[in-house]
Amino acid sequence: MQFKYLIPTAIYFEKHCIENQSEVLASIGEKAMIVTGKYSAKACGALIDVINALVKHSKEYIIFDEIENNPSVETVERASQIAKLNKVDYIIGIGGGSPIDAAKAIAVLTANPEMGGIDLFQNTFTKVLPIVGIPTTAGTGSEVTPYSVLVRQDMQTKMSFGTVKTFPSYAFLDARYTISLSSSATINTAVDALTHVMEGYLANRSTSITDALALEALGVFRRSIEALVKNDLSLEDRENLMYISLLGGMIIAQTGVTLAHGMGYCYTFFKDIPHGKANGLIMKEYLKYLYEVSSNKMEQLLKVLEYSNVNQLIDLFTELLGNAPQLTKEDVTRYTELTKLQKGSINNTPGLVDEKVIKELWEKMS
Ligand code: NAP
Ligand code: FE
């Protein structure tokens, strides 16, 4: 047995954790930039909780609330200019994966004024402002991963960066914040978390410790499937989903993701399909591939989910997400070329993934 396991993030998971841990949140620096999207941080109550915590301890803050879904390099550059002008010394990301990923990029660009946004992807920076992640979706686990996924208009896809320095220093998880999610966003983000767990479990870089986390997450997911399908989630179900999302983040922080995520970026970029749904749609064909190349682990995974064959799991994805969009021959060619750029995900996928395998998967999806 051999593994390395590193999560340098202090994790607080409880209802009202911002209020209860306000001293911790306020101790990180003197002036924070709060990074959010337009609406949800206010709607779910997280923003006001953070403001109250900072005000209580006489800390200054500014708010940048212009993070779009699937944040772009240009947006994080703009936010970091404001952060530099205002001399902030830590960054608090509140939201789904988009604001938390953006917070990581802003934390790097603010600490390294000579850097441009494209330089992030070199992963050569050494200075980063402290980052705090406060999730309002139960999906990405970004609050405990070093990754930041940004849209690269120049490459017509999404690319990620991240080093050990871009792990958030603190993660505060309060499942109450996810109550305001629409049912489709709840499902899409839950599917993202599930794909992290499954991809991490099947990944070439999986280890015994990430396997243990994955089996725990799959068992908890089993208990919430019915509520998710019926769209009738209690706060306990929401806590379960947030816990699965956290575990998924802790897993992929070690293992990385695999081909499904590498392929899903095409659906998001060209078809505007939300991240979690994009990966879930890929799963329908990808799971069959995984069953061929890694049948032992797939059997184990199905057993914990209490399914007797892979088609039952595929049916769950269809029930939750509906069908994938039609693709043209040109789409298949273009998506195959772009998927080939996702080298990290490809190398992490079991079996021998070459252009033929990628193209065949896209053809089956079309
Ligand atoms: P998101 O893009 O952050 O947010 C999607 C939508 O949900 C936004 O319109 C947002 O509104 C809304 N929303 C968020 N929380 C809400 C709440 N509590 N109530 C009501 N609406 C809410 O969604 P996400 O799926 O969490 O994140 C996806 C991004 O994370 C993608 O860019 C993906 O590539 C990335 N990702 C990162 C990692 C990682 O390890 N770093 C892993 C997986 C995915 P507002 O715009 O108003 O905020
Ligand atoms: Fe994801």
**Span 8-63, pLDDT tens digits:** 999 999 999 999 999 999 999 999 999 999 999 999 999 999 999 999 999 999 99
Q: What's the count of helices (H) and strands (E) in the chain, helices before strands?
A: 16, 8
Mean pLDDT in residue range 179-187: 97
Average pLDDT over the chain reads 97
Ligand 1 touching residue 254 (CB < 6 A): no
What is residue 142's predicted lDDT score, i.e. its pLDDT? 98
- Cβ of residue 346 lying under 6 Å from some atom of ligand 1: no
Relative to the alpha carbon of 190, which ligand is closest? 1
pLDDT of residue 28: 97
User: Residue 95 C-alpha to ligand 2 middle, in angstroms?
Assistant: 15
pLDDT at 295: 96
Q: Is the dihedral of CA 232, 235, 240, 241 positive or negative?
A: positive
pLDDT of residue 33: 98
Comparing CA positions, the residue from 94, 59, 62, 227 lying closest to residue 171 is: 94
| Predicted TM-score (pTM) of this structure | 0.97
**Cβ atoms 224, 193 nearer than 8 A:** no
Q: Length of the chain in residues, anyone? A: 366
Helix (H, G, I), strand (E, B) or coil at 109: helix
Decide whether any atom of ligand 1 lies within 6 Å of the 142 Cβ: yes
Strand-pairing partners, residue 150, are 159
Distances (CA, A) of 332 to 220, 232, 263, 280: 36, 37, 11, 18
Share of the chain above pLDDT 90, in %: 97
CA dihedral 313, 259, 246, 112 (to 10 degrees): -160
154 has a pLDDT exceeding 90 = no
- Which of helix, strand or coil describes residue 176? helix
The residue whose C-alpha atom lies closest to atom 40 belonging to ligand 1 is 142
- Output the pLDDT for position 122: 97
Q: What is the pLDDT of residue 165?
A: 98
Q: Is the dihedral angle over the CA atoms 338, 80, 8, 99 positive or is it negative?
A: negative
CA dist 313 and 165 (Å) reads 37
* Whether the CB of 112 sits within 6 Å of ligand 1: no
pLDDT surpasses 90 at 220: yes
Q: Give the closest residue (by CA) to ligand 1 atom 35.
A: 97
Give the tens place of pLDDT for each residue, 203-216.
999 999 999 999 99
Give the model's pLDDT for residue 243: 98
Mean pLDDT, residues 311-327 taken together: 96
Quote the ligand 2 centre to 260 CA distance (angstroms): 9
Q: How far apart are CA 30 and CA 346, in angstroms?
A: 42
- Residue 149 Cβ inside 6 Å of ligand 1? The answer reads yes
56 contacts: CB under 8 Å, gap ≥ 6: 22, 26
Give me the pLDDT at residue 153, please. 87
pLDDT at 302 over 90: yes
What is the separation, in whole angstroms, between the first and last Cα of the chain? 41
Task: Tell me the CA–centroid distance for residue 286 and ligand 1, in Å.
Answer: 24
- CA distance linking residue 250 with residue 179, whole number of Å: 23
User: Confidence band (pLDDT; 50, 70, 90) for 82?
Assistant: very high
Query: Residue 157 pLDDT more than 90?
Result: no
Collapsed DSSP state (helix, strand, coil) of residue 142: helix
User: What is the pLDDT confidence band of residue 78, given thresholds at 50, 70 and 90?
Assistant: very high
- pLDDT of 286 over the 90 cut: yes
Model confidence at 347: pLDDT above 90: yes
146 lines ligand 1 (CB under 6 A): no
Selection from 88, 114, 86, 118 nearest residue 103 by Cα = 88
Q: What local confidence, expressed as pLDDT, does residue 42 receive?
A: 97
Is the pLDDT at 155 greater than 90? The verdict is: no
Give residue 160's pLDDT band: very low, low, confident or very high (50, 70, 90). very high
pLDDT higher than threshold 90 for residue 99: yes
DSSP H or E segment with residue 13: strand 10-13
The residue-averaged pLDDT of 94-119 equals: 97
CA atoms within 13 A on the CB side of 40: 25
Average pLDDT over residues 136-148: 97
pLDDT at residue 158 tops 90: no
CB 332 within 8 A of CB 359: yes
Q: Which two tokens stand for residue 108?
A: 């790097």
Atom of ligand 1 at shortest distance to CA of 178? 18
pLDDT score at 224? 93
According to the model, what pLDDT value does residue 290 have? 97
Mutate which of 63, 73, 275 to test ligand 1's pocket (most atoms within 8 Å of Cβ)? Answer: 275
Q: Is 100 exposed, middle or buried (0-12, 13-18, 19+ CB in 10 A)?
A: buried
335 pLDDT tier (thresholds 50, 70, 90): very high
Mean pLDDT of 217-243: 96
